[in-house]
Structure 1
């Protein structure tokens, strides 16, 4: 928290998340961070698909699924397998990296 002047106080985004979602390491905060990562992954699939000038239908054909499933991947990754995500990025000719951090 930083005080700008006597009438204004600024908070960092991390401070806001700590206050309203929970501190790092709490169950609620972990769930929030994981969901956020899935949203970002879906946005990344869409971005790369568009950069490759593919429609959802064309990408679906490349990996053997219907267009509706590609739409779901791009907008809601809650019930997706790692295998499917890897198939999508492979079809998009995109390299996928995972980082594992020990806590």
Structure 2
């Protein structure tokens, strides 16, 4: 097992903001995760695309979406979820 210790005190990365699809990472930018945290994740997992998704009006990314099976993301119907869905759909199409 691999453990990453972030020593950059300006970086924040909450586990609930990291969604791994098996092919790529979506990182929610929220009150608990910032751009620097996403950059460190991307630097650590260079073989995978890492895309950021703004998270507003929710605790973290996985508050309204999660992996529901291979190639399937379940996402809620709230306004915050629908905004994130638009970003994720655009990023997925761009990365394929």
User: Which structure has greater helix proportion?
Assistant: 1
Q: Same fold (TM over 0.5)?
A: no
User: Which structure has greater strand proportion?
Assistant: 2
TM-score, normalization by structure 2 = 0.27
Q: Which has the greater radius of gyration?
A: 1
